Amino acid sequence: MSSLRMTAGWWASAKVTLAAFAIALLIGAVLIAFSDEDVVETLPNLFTYPGDFFVAAADAIGSSYWAMLKGSLGSWHAIASTLERSAPLICAGLGVTFAFRAGLFNIGAQGQMTIAALIGGYVAFAWQLPAGLHLLCALVACLIGGALWGGVAGVLKAQAGAHEVITTIMLNYVAASVLLYALSKDAFQRPGSDNALSPQPLDTARFPSIGGVHLGVLLALLAAVLVWWVLDRSTLGFELRAVGANPNAARTAGMSTTVVYTVAMVIAGALAGLAAAMNVLGEGNALSPTLVGSIGFDAITVALLGRASPVGTVLAGLLFGAMSVGGVAMQASVGTPKELTAVIQALIVLFVAAPTFVKALMRFKDQGGGTTLLAKGWGA
Amino acid sequence: MKLEIRGLTKRFGDFVANDHIDLTIEPGEIHCLLGENGAGKSTLMNMLYGLLDPSEGEVLIDEVPRSFATPGDAIAAGIGMVHQHFMLVPVFTVAENVMLGDESVRGGVFLNRGQATERVRALSQQYGLKVDPEALVEHLPVGVQQRVEIIKALSHNAKVLILDEPTAVLTPQEIEELMQIMRELRDQGTSIIFITHKLREVKAVGDRISVIRRGRVVGTADPSTSEAELAEMMVGRSVKLVVDKEPSTRRDTVLQVEHLTVTDPRGHQVVKDIGFEVRAGEVLGVAGVQGNGQTELVKALIGLIRPDTGVISLDGNDISGHGPRRSLEAGVGYIPEDRSHDGNVGSFSVRENLILDLYRDDRFARGMALRLDDIATNAQERIEEFDIRTESDQTPVSALSGGNQQKVVVAREFSRPLKLLVASQPTRGVDVGSIEFIHRRIIAERDRGTAVVIVSTELDEIYALSDRIAVMYDGRIVGTVTPDIPREQIGLLMAGATDTGEERV
Ligand SMILES: Nc1ncnc2c1ncn2[C@@H]1O[C@H](COP(=O)(O)OP(=O)(O)OP(=O)(O)O)[C@@H](O)[C@H]1O
Ligand SMILES: [Mg+2]
């Protein structure tokens, strides 16, 4: 009976997500049609030859989405790119998810990744160590860098009550500036270059490739399993979720909100650090101001779409990774701008955030309860 | 207005919370609903008020079938409800709260405060609901806030007023006043549906009584029925309304409090130089009107507030300021006065709440790993033992009825060996059958040699359990007496008279 209840809840949110995805694709299709030159050419004659318009539109939409699908999943090579692109999204998303379960809205994955990349990157290009050991050191450096930056927000929250949304946003700016500053110093500058660019990470510090994907992908999935275990099966996760859901009752039960907030942000930061490792040690990118891109922010979206559950975050990360790889392929092969995928992603999140709207659109029967405020006896 | 409920049914999944309920509320009567925790009283009221959709059945108002999709519909039909958790904006005045969402007091885009104030004044005069329309809600005591809720309902012309356990959070004085207001409303033609677990109140104001058990109406009674009979109708067996207990065999001192002083966050000294001791195998009842420092005293005892000065020693070790975890580990059990605020995590399952402060115990964790099987077994045992009515042990606690939520807290605190039990309003919102059970458990705990501190605003409860009674007034213990002294004398102490009765504060 109880498991039925849980599956019902799970299925309900999956339904909304799938519906949101479908609606977003539909709106995306309209955008594709009207940004396609062949379709636009048929418009003046829309009322005389409406058929032309529909044929052209169907052709544009079909070929764009087909290119996207093929580019992201059509071959082993495509799948490998998708996995590698998803890995940092998954890790950073897990960081946001983890903090969220402790009741903390962690906007700081971006800054945590930046600091992690800075420290880990330095180890990766500056230190000279034997292959395995070098990778290990660089990886740990990434984790420590992220944990450090996340921990700052955690300590500020726990000790001074500073709201984590404010501090993590501010720390993002600080991290970006720290990176720029470091890149202006000789220690980080690539010799013989005037650009804000560091040397390439050494090969000894790179993730080895297994079957076409780098080891980091495996680590990302392992991290997800670990996060699931900690949240669902461990005493730490129990404390974390209790503090996130009702800090007063948690404190009364002898839990320390101070410890929980700090630990949650340290671990969230370490997960963001793992995401940075995907960039630096996986792709082998040199440090530059644009290294992290917008992964730290996309992570928030991924976690939100994944309903702050580890499994959901992995699925959402894979979806976003596939769309981003597919988008590039689509632009290359049929010329539809890859920015379209960003629009679709944003729409999905928008609809997921407005479940009532999606349910109304799709005419799902609302199960009631949920958002309705129920009057109960006192204290109920 | 006549309200008729016909065959109203509510199912949650397979669970039938209301099973073809038939009930008629005549105009101008106070209709009391009695029933065990989880019997379905609140569910029925939520359907009447448009908060839940009925699975079956209909509601007739003056013989006309009506259905309410939202509370707005119910209000328009003349039904008002006072929620136990008040829905007031604390930083607004009484008048502003009453006119919230009320179009009739609008002057264009502006709010007509003057008119709203007048409305409140008129209503409060008409029904004898004393309240200052210009007072800020956050400055009002609970009892007066409740009056504001009633005025709000009346200002929407409510002809049927639902009061779901309104007295659970009131002081005896406030309850008296509320009952007076209810009589006044009835005499002016408003019908009232009154839910309570206190049989004395039912007998005092009720015109008719309906008893609900496991989702069905099992009978009606009139207020002359004896409390024992009413209790039996509710629970389906005879209930002992007073616990049997042997005189306490006092042993060594377990808890020793000396010169305890506590300041609240606003800087007021709320506990003033208190000292007392509780021995093993003894129940100390702390009586007093709500808000005389009991809350802070209790929080200091279990380490949630750090006292300014003083010593709290448990078995000779000072535990003041060590935090709740140390107290828990030292063997202090705690039943907080506000279960949803401090006692349970609403979104957690019953199973998880039953180990909320025990999850570190070797019974439930191996290193960092939770022992899920043992946690599940524990839940089954506690649910069985304490008769917690829940669909399953995976149900979120917030879906349980109020009294069953309280039983979850009580069951948890009784599932480990205790040296000291601190219980604040341990039976608030709990039905008579469960009160009997919880009281018996508290006495059994005492007999096992636990020192017990009971804080309650219910004198009945204090008398039923205590071996000694300490009366608190204005942050001090103004007298410690034995339960053989008459109620009037305790009443005087609670009002601030000192032991000798001469020095009034
Ligand atoms: N949203 C819900 N989902 C599942 N079960 C529910 C829900 N709301 C109430 N219930 C169940 O319905 C039953 C009746 O609950 P209700 O709150 O009406 O009891 P009650 O008579 O008001 O009890 P109390 O005196 O303790 O307040 C309970 O067993 C409760 O667990
Ligand atoms: Mg109720």
A254 touches chain B (CB under 8 A): yes
* Atom 22 of ligand 1, nearest CA residue: B42
CB contacts of A370 in chain B (<8 Å) are none
pLDDT of residue B469: 95
What's the pLDDT at B130? 85
- Ligand 1 and B433: CB distance under 6 A: no
Q: How far is the CA of B85 from the centre of ligand 1 (A)?
A: 16
Same-domain pairing of B133 and B231: yes
If pLDDT is split at 50, 70 and 90, which confidence band does A37 have? confident
Is B413 an interface residue toward A (CB < 8 Å)? no
Concatenated DSSP letters for B214-261?
A: TTEEEEEE-TTS-HHHHHHHHHSS---SS---PPP---SEEEEEEEEE
Q: Are residues B355 and B308 in the same domain?
A: no
Considering the domain architecture, whether residues B90 and B183 belong to the same structural domain is answered as yes
Domain count for chain B:
3
pLDDT at A371: 33
pLDDT of res. A363: 61
Token reading at A18: 């799938």
Question: What's residue B504's pLDDT?
Answer: 35
Name the band, by pLDDT with cuts 50, 70 and 90, for residue A303: very high
- pLDDT level of residue B95 (50, 70, 90 thresholds): confident
pLDDT of residue B111: 64
Are both B19 and B118 inside the same structural domain? Answer: yes
Q: Could you report the per-residue pLDDT of B449-485, keeping only the tens digit for each? A: 999 999 998 888 999 999 999 999 999 999 999 999 9
Whether residue B266 lies inside any domain: the answer is: yes
**B437 is a domain residue:** yes
Based on the domain organization, do B215 and B255 belong to the same domain?
no
Residue A221 has pLDDT above 90, yes or no: yes
Kindly list the residues from chain B whose CB atom is less than 8 angstroms away from the CB atom of residue A249: 341-345, 356
The overall average pLDDT reported for chain B is 89
**Beta carbons of B304 and A246 less than 8 Å apart:** no
Mean pLDDT of B318-347: 91
Which two three-digit tokens encode residue B207?
A: 């015109």
Token couple for B247: 């005189």
The pLDDT of B228-237, averaged and rounded, is 89
Which segment of A63-77, A267-281, A360-374, B388-402 scores lowest on mean pLDDT?
A360-374
Half-sphere exposure of residue A246, counting CA atoms within 13 Å on the CB side? 21
Instruction: Write down the pLDDT at residue A372.
Output: 30
**Interchain proximity A375–B344, CB inside 8 Å:** no
pLDDT computed for residue B104 by the predictor: 60
A253-285 pLDDT, tens per residue? 999 999 999 999 999 999 999 999 999 999 999
- pLDDT score recorded for residue B102: 66
B222 lies in the same domain as B288: no
CB of B18 shorter than 6 A to ligand 1: no
Instruction: Examine the fold and report which residue of B235, B259, B289 is the final residue of a domain before the chain moves on.
Output: B235
The pLDDT-based confidence of B171 (bands split at 50, 70, 90) is: confident
> Is B396 near chain A, with CB under 8 Å?
no
Token pair of A366, please? 């609302």
Q: Are residues B397 and B320 both part of a single domain? A: no
Residue B283 in any domain: the answer is yes
Task: Report whether pLDDT(B497) > 80.
Answer: no
- Please give the Cα distance from B219 to B229 (Å, whole number): 12
The Cβ-side half-sphere exposure at A319, using a 13 Å CA radius, reads: 24
Write out pLDDT tens, residues B374-386: 999 999 999 999 9
Which residue among B363, B381, B409 closes a domain? Answer: B409
- Range in A35-39, A220-224, A313-317, B255-259 the model is least confident about: A35-39
CA A112, CA A97: separation in Å to the nearest integer? 15
Tell me how many residue pairs between chain A and chain B have CB atoms under 8 A apart. 144
Domain that holds residue B86: 3-235
Is the pLDDT assigned to residue B338 strictly greater than 50? Answer: yes
Tell me what pLDDT residue B502 has. Answer: 41
With a 6 A CB cut-off, is A369 part of the ligand 1 pocket? yes
How much distance in Å is there from the Cα of B18 to the middle of ligand 1? 9
Can you tell me the mean pLDDT for A116-136?
Answer: 95
Tell me: the pLDDT tens digits for B70-93?
888 999 999 999 876 677 888 888
Q: What are the pLDDT digits (tens) for B192-201? A: 999 999 999 9
The domain boundary residue, chosen from B174, B206, B235: B235
pLDDT of the residue at B499: 53
Task: Determine the distance separating the centroid of ligand 2 and the alpha carbon of B347, expressed in angstroms.
Answer: 18
Of A248, A375, A379, the CB nearest to B46: A375
Between A248, A255, A372, which is nearest B341 by CB? Answer: A248
* Ligand 1 pocket residue status of B35, Cβ below 6 Å: yes
pLDDT band of B34, cuts 50, 70, 90? very high
| Statement to judge: residues B227 and B93 lie in one domain | yes
Residue B38 Cα to ligand 1 middle (Å): 5
Give the mean pLDDT of chain A: 89
- pLDDT band of residue A163 (cuts 50, 70, 90) is very high
Q: Is the pLDDT confidence value at B224 over 60?
A: yes
Please report the sign of the dihedral spanned by the C-alpha atoms of residue A89, residue A271, residue A217, residue A197: positive
Greater confidence (B397 vs A371) lies with: B397
Architecture of the A76-335 domain: Orthogonal Bundle (1.10)
Q: Which ligand has the minimum distance to the alpha carbon of residue A1?
A: 1
User: Is residue B95 included in any domain, yes or no?
Assistant: yes
**Same domain for B246 and B199:** no
* Confidence (pLDDT) at A5: 37
Contacts of A2 in chain B (CB under 8 A): 391-395
Give the model's pLDDT for residue A53: 85
B102 or B67, which is more confident? B67
Q: What is the pLDDT of residue B116?
A: 81
* Least confident stretch, A241-245, B16-20, B287-291: B287-291
Give the count of beta carbons closer than 10 Å to the beta carbon of residue B360. Answer: 19
Q: Are residues B422 and B393 in the same domain?
A: no
Which of the pair, B115 or B85, is modelled with greater confidence?
Answer: B115
Residues B160 and B304 in one domain: no
The Å distance, Cα B429 to ligand 2 centre, comes to 8
Pocket test for ligand 1, best of B401, B406, B430, B435 (most atoms within 8 A of CB): B401
Q: Kindly report the CATH number assigned to the domain that includes residue B111.
A: 3.40.50.300
Same domain for B51 and B103, yes or no, is yes
**Which alpha helices (DSSP H) does A127-234 contain, by range?**
131-160, 164-183, 215-233
Position B279 in a domain: yes
CB A327 within 8 A of CB A333: no
The residue ranges of every structural domain in chain A are 76-335
User: How much of chain A exceeds pLDDT 90, in percent?
Assistant: 70
Predicted TM-score (pTM) of the model is 0.86
Mean pLDDT calculated for residue range B64-70: 91
